[in-house]
Amino acid sequence: MQFFGRKLASYSDSTLGWRTSSWEKQNKVLSQYMPKWGEGRSHPLRILGGPN
């Protein structure tokens, strides 16, 4: 949460269907769910562009 601005925070996650409109609400959601996620990994589905 340290990377979210407290005054301008707004977050939407289309995969999970989550949408929050404040830092406090986002903090509550992530505090509730993220500790239970364990160690995750993220992989790109497709990379567009050249070799650079």
Specify the pLDDT at position 6.
Answer: 82
Mean pLDDT for the stretch of residues 42-46: 79
Specify the pLDDT at position 13.
Answer: 78
Structure tokens at 3: 């990377």
Q: Where are the beta strands (DSSP E) in 1-52?
A: 11-13, 18-20
Tell me how far apart the alpha carbons of residues 1 and 25 are, in angstroms, rounded to a whole number.
11
pLDDT at 3 over 80: no
Tell me how far apart the alpha carbons of residues 22 and 29 are, in angstroms, rounded to a whole number.
11
Specify the pLDDT at position 41.
Answer: 76
DSSP state of 9: -
pLDDT per residue over 8-39, tens digit each? 777 787 777 878 888 888 888 888 877 777 77
